Structures are given as C-alpha cells and as structure tokens.
Amino acid sequence: MFGIVWMFVVLCATYVIVMRTPLGQIDTQWRNLYMYVWANWDGGHYTSIASKGYEIVQYAFFPLFPFLIKVVHHLIGEGHSYILAGLIVSRTALLVALVYLYKLFRLDYDESQSQMSLFLLLAFPTSMFLLAVYTEPLFLATSAASIYYARKKNWAMAGGAAFLAGLTRTVGIALLFPLIYEFLKNIPARTVSEQIGKAVRDWRFTFCFFSLVGVLVYATYSYGQTGNFLQMLDSQKYWTEIANRGGEGIRSPIRAIRVGYEAIETFEVSP
C-alpha cells in the first residue's frame, strides 16, 4: 500500500513541476510533455525499439523491456502511445519488485524491519527513476524474484526469473553468484570441492546459470540480425564514447540545469 501511495505522490509532484510551472513551456513540440519526461534518454530508445525494431546502435539495450512494451501497446490499442505502454510496464514491474523484496526481507527480518527497508528504498531521492520508462524496475523485480525463489529452494522459478533478468540487462549475469552460493550452501559436505562435485551431479544446478542463458539468447538474436555475436558490446562502446567525448557526460546534466533555470527566469508560473 505504501508503494502505491508513494507512486501517487511522486506522479502528482511531477505533474505540478512539469505542467504548472515554466518547465512545461520549454518544448511545445511534445503533445504531452508530462508523459515525455518519464521516457527521455534511454526511454526513447526502448519505445523506439518497441515500435520500429532495433537500429544498429541500439543493440546495447536489451530486449525484454521493449518486448513487454510492444505487448502492452498491442493490448491497450494502437490509439495509445508507446510511452504509455512503457509506463504501464515499468510501474507494474515496480509493484512486483516491492512484493518480492518484501517477501525476501521477511525471510530474515520481522514485518516492521521489512516495511522500513521498502520505505528507505522509495524515500531515496533517485528512486523516482523506478517510475520511468527504464529497465531499473523490471531488473529489480526479476532479480528479487530470482533470489527469493533460490532462498526457498524453488530452482525452476529462480532460474526462470534469472533468465528474464539476463534478457533485461547485461549485469543480470551477476545473478550467477548468489544462486550458486544458495545452491551450494544447502549441500552437506566437508569441503567446497565436495559440494561442487555433488552440485554438478544434480540437474537442478543448471538453473543457477539461466541468467547467462538469457544473455546468450540475446547475443544469438543479435547475431541473426547483424552477423555479430557481440553486437551488444560494440553498440555499448558507441554510447560510452558519446558520453565521454569532451566531457559530455558531465556537461549534459549541467546544460539541463541551465536550461531549466533560464526557463524559470523567462516565463511566469501558470495560474
């Protein structure tokens, strides 16, 4: 319930900032600037991939999120924007993430401590990005679900969630480590090598590697489209160069602050 209330407060605050102040007059080419502020930067690429497919430099953006945007857009109808579909996906994923995080915390902590953990997560200033058309909420949901099911020894579900995390972001591969740890710690043995030996003979151990499978599936898809198995890494190099070119990674936020400040000085607040 707190998550829903927090989401409502942030959305209302954003509306006031964007639509009822000079910031809402910066760019009139957008029919709905309020929607756009939640889907700029990477969000624009994800909605573009969902609507038109990949361009060569966009293979750095993993496919699960834009695929879900495309599915939701089909469900809500062609008359609605891909940004709206993206917002539905990201905010639904956030609610799922909060549920699994709470269930995960409750394995080790009492109810009040678990609720406080979620409160601190949402109270952190940059948590607003969990509402944007970015992969953060989806990755948080799949990662939390994977670790939760691993803790519950439901390896099929843990592997399935890890597979989805691997299709969401490159760092989904990192789920290999907590899943392998959780699997090994439940195997009685005198040495680590003995634990590993027993794990290898257990077919359920393969689920621990499903996050890597997710990345490999995307790499295979990329190869089929571009002839380059590592196209995701080559595309990422392009964006890294753009960000680092002449200090652009530092200048961009400074420029955004300056534009906003100049707009506030120029325009009067809307009545």
> For 3-40, how does the pLDDT look when each residue is reduced to its tens digit (9 = 90+)?
555 555 555 544 444 444 444 444 444 445 556 666 76
Task: Say which residue, 256 or 201, is predicted with more confidence.
Answer: 201
Nearest of 171, 145, 160, 138 to residue 71 by alpha carbon: 138
| Residue 67 structure tokens | 């695929």
| Angstrom distance (rounded) from CA 176 to CA 187 | 17
> For 68-110, how does the pLDDT look when each residue is reduced to its tens digit (9 = 90+)?
999 988 888 776 678 888 888 988 899 899 999 999 999 999 9
Q: What is the pTM of this model?
A: 0.77
| Angstrom distance (rounded) from CA 214 to CA 138 | 14
